[in-house]
Structure 1
Amino acid sequence: MNDRTDLLEERLAHALRALDDLSEMVARQDKELARLTARVEMLMQREASRESDGTGGIVLGDERPPHY
């Protein structure tokens, strides 16, 4: 029965290591997602400001530029 206990302890150690690795990965991804979300929000605010100021913008498809 000692061999079985050793095997279970070894498997548990590997499972705990995998869990720790995944936890660290999720924490890094959460930080990155928060950083990217803040960046997108900043870019959206910047674009909204440009649109309200009438400075800049992108012509898409068949839209006529404002000076026509």
Structure 2
Amino acid sequence: MSAGTRRLPAVERVTFGQAKGWNCIWCGKLLTTGAVSAGRIDEAGARGLSFEVFACPDCGVRGRS
């Protein structure tokens, strides 16, 4: 289940750690346990980048409300 009623940031604003799933997409906190999927970010263009991003448990709960 996705964490998301919140709108995900544009691909240009995502850090390397967030794109790799190491940091929360919302607060930047290092993810260790309890991370939840926040959705998928897609970039249109020649490369066609697409990656799943994650939220920490605190931000994930807030994203559902």
Tell me the TM-score normalized by structure 1: 0.18
User: Which structure has the highest strand share of the two?
Assistant: 2
Tell me the TM-score normalized by structure 2: 0.18
User: Which structure has the highest helix share of the two?
Assistant: 1
Higher relative contact order (CA 8 A, sep 6+): 2
